[in-house]
Amino acid sequence: MRYLLFLPFVFGVLAVASAQEEPTKTALSSKEAKIVDEINLSDADIEVFKDQTRQKVEEFQQHIVIIGSKDQPDEMRNLAEREALKLFIDGAEMESSVIRPNGSIQIQSRPMQNYLARLKSLPYTAVVIKFYDLVYISSFTKGPDGRYYSSATIIQEFSGFSGDNLVYKDVTTKEVEIILNLVEDKFFNEKKWQVLLGNIKATETRRG
């Protein structure tokens, strides 16, 4: 287990196809669909994107640690919140889980921006979030929409304090959806693969 420090991270993407002239919108849509359908990643490409996925997940974890920490300056927490959102596909949601006093587990799904804002304002005097070192990434598989999909499994330990007293603690296993999307780089006039994070599910929660 380790604390994660905030480090700036810039991820690379692999160019795979060149954009062509745009005769009509209909022709362009058909052409793009054909390009996406025909592009397949090699095993070497997959390994590159698995490395990028691991880096993205770790970057997200770093942001979560900062957002949750009430010891960090507001400017740093707000910056981490904005940077964290850039890692996700539009519409991504986060499942959060809470162990109730009777031992039952309550799970609620929120839009990612709402989850991060709520994390920043939790009613504890101190919040400590740790992540286990292990990050398991599944193989990428091509979906019917031409994108490649994978998942990353992470384990998070959450502790909430009131003064010096620990009042809540749990350990949650989470599954992060990974999306490898083909996007157009208008500056270079070409297609590139981009790793994005998607929905995050809470698959198991236990007392810490």
Q: Please write the tens of the pLDDT for every residue from 49-79.
A: 999 999 999 999 999 999 999 999 999 999 9
Evaluate whether residue 9 is within a structural domain. no
pLDDT at 5 over 70: no
Look at residue 38 in the predicted model and tell me its pLDDT: 47
Phi then psi for residue 185, to 5 deg, are: -95, 100
Segment 72-89 shows an average pLDDT of 98
Evaluate whether residue 10 is within a structural domain. no
Evaluate whether residue 56 is within a structural domain. yes
Segment 91-120 shows an average pLDDT of 97
Evaluate whether residue 200 is within a structural domain. yes
Evaluate whether residue 4 is within a structural domain. no
Residue 169, both tokens: 């603690």
Cβ neighbors of 202 (< 8 A, separation 6 or more) are 95, 96, 97, 107, 172, 173, 174
Which among 189, 103, 119, 182 is positioned nearest to 148, based on CA atoms? 182
User: Residue 145's domain spans which residues?
Assistant: 15-207
Q: What is the CATH number of the domain that holds 170?
A: 3.10.450.50
Provide the residue type at 172 as one letter.
T
Look at residue 39 in the predicted model and tell me its pLDDT: 61
How many domains does the structure of the chain reveal? 1
Evaluate whether residue 52 is within a structural domain. yes
Evaluate whether residue 106 is within a structural domain. yes
For residue 191, what pLDDT band results from cuts at 50, 70 and 90?
confident
